[in-house]
Amino acid sequence: DIQMTQSPSSVSASVGDRVTITCRASQGINSWLTWYQQKPGKAPKLLIYTASSLQSGVPSRFSGSGSGTVFTLTISSLQPEDFATYYCQQADSFPYTFGQGTKLEIK
């Protein structure tokens, strides 16, 4: 199975900050990488697919990049509603696997 490792596991930031989360795959997955946002008690929400495509309705302050084994999710200017947990997920081969999550907290 492909292992997905996110870093950091948690990060504290302030409104207006720029934040970058990294996701590393244990083997190459081309661009088959998806990012989700999850708030407590809620279902995950799709943010980015195929590494860099913004899901409809998602604010443009979210962006994704990378290919192969290293990917990043960047939030250009944090808003209060962005404090949540973020997960990457590979869709290159079964079983699809998620990273362990990155909790974004208010500083």
Q: Which residues of this chain interact with other proteins, rule CB under 8 A?
A: 1, 32, 34, 36, 38, 43-46, 48-50, 53, 55, 87, 89, 91, 94-101
Q: Which is nearer to other proteins, 77 or 93 (CB)?
A: 93
Residue written as token pair 């290919």: 67
User: Shortest distance, CB of residue 87 to other proteins, whole angstroms?
Assistant: 5
State whether the Cα torsion 98-46-64-28 is positive or negative: positive
Q: Which is nearer to other proteins, 44 or 68 (CB)?
A: 44
Q: Which is nearer to other proteins, 7 or 77 (CB)?
A: 7
Yes or no: say if 55 and 48 are a contact pair by the CB < 8 Å rule: yes
Closest CA to 75 of 40, 102, 50, 100: 102
